[in-house]
Amino acid sequence: MLDIEFAYPDPIRTWRRSRPAIRKRKTLIRLSSASLKIHAKYYYMSILNSLQRLEELTQTIPPLLSAIPDEELNHKPQPNKWSKKQILGHLIDSAANNHQRFVRIQYEKEPLIYYDQDKWNLLNHHQDLDRKHLLEFWIIYNKHLLQLASGIANENLALKGIGKDGQPKTLGWYIEDYVVHMEHHLKQIVEY
């Protein structure tokens, strides 16, 4: 039996903080050898599509972010809500934590990796950093993750790690979810 997990956006907004739900579908499949190869190819193609999307985002988003006026980038809609600059910082924090996932899941047995996003944002002082610094860091970190993920052996994509919800997810799922999560937040910053 093969255990495959997929993540894809769900138009129904059910998560807290108006975050679009990521419908999690776990499929347990009994397959013949030929059928298994077809499904494994689909799974690999799904991850490959996520990596291609990540590459596109690292090329198309920076000019859009650079065009945002400083006042708009720094504006906090409410004292307890993040500014667009802090959302960009959150994406860097997400990259840092997913960097660990992409590496550690390959050699540790189901590592537990999660973080307190509000504390990370506060203690990294994203609101006070220069926009150029944040943007360049976001670009280079995502290009690095793209290279790292592109080199992951196919058999390692089925290895699992554990997030804040306590549920094991495959490395392939984390790669796909990383890009879905990024796009969700990028759309809070810019229209594209």
For residue 169, what is the enclosing H or E element? Answer: strand 168-170
Tell me, what's the pLDDT at 156? 96
Say if residue 185 is exposed, middle or buried (CB neighbours under 10 Å; 0-12, 13-18, 19+): middle
Q: Six-digit token pair at 19?
A: 């975050």
Q: Is the pTM of this model over 0.85?
A: no
Tell me, what's the pLDDT at 45? 81
pLDDT band at 41; cut points 50, 70, 90:
low
What percentage of the chain reaches a pLDDT higher than 70?
77
The domains located in the chain, with CATH, are 2-189 (1.20.120.450)
Q: What is the pLDDT of residues 1-26, one digit of tens each?
A: 334 444 434 333 333 333 343 343 33
Alpha carbon distance 172, 50 (integer Å):
10
Residue 24, CA distances (Å) to 8, 9, 13 in order? 7, 9, 14
The DSSP bridge partners found for residue 112 are 162
Tell me, what's the pLDDT at 40? 57
Tell me, what's the pLDDT at 43? 64
Q: What is the pLDDT of residues 97-144, one digit of tens each?
A: 999 999 999 999 999 999 999 999 999 999 999 999 999 999 999 999
* Mean of the per-residue pLDDT values of the chain: 84
Residue 119, CA distances (Å) to 86, 89, 134, 150, 174 in order? 12, 12, 17, 30, 22
Tell me, what's the pLDDT at 36? 45
Question: Taking 70 as the threshold, does the pLDDT of residue 159 lie above it?
Answer: yes
Query: What's the CA dihedral at 51, 57, 59, 63 to 10 degrees?
Result: -170
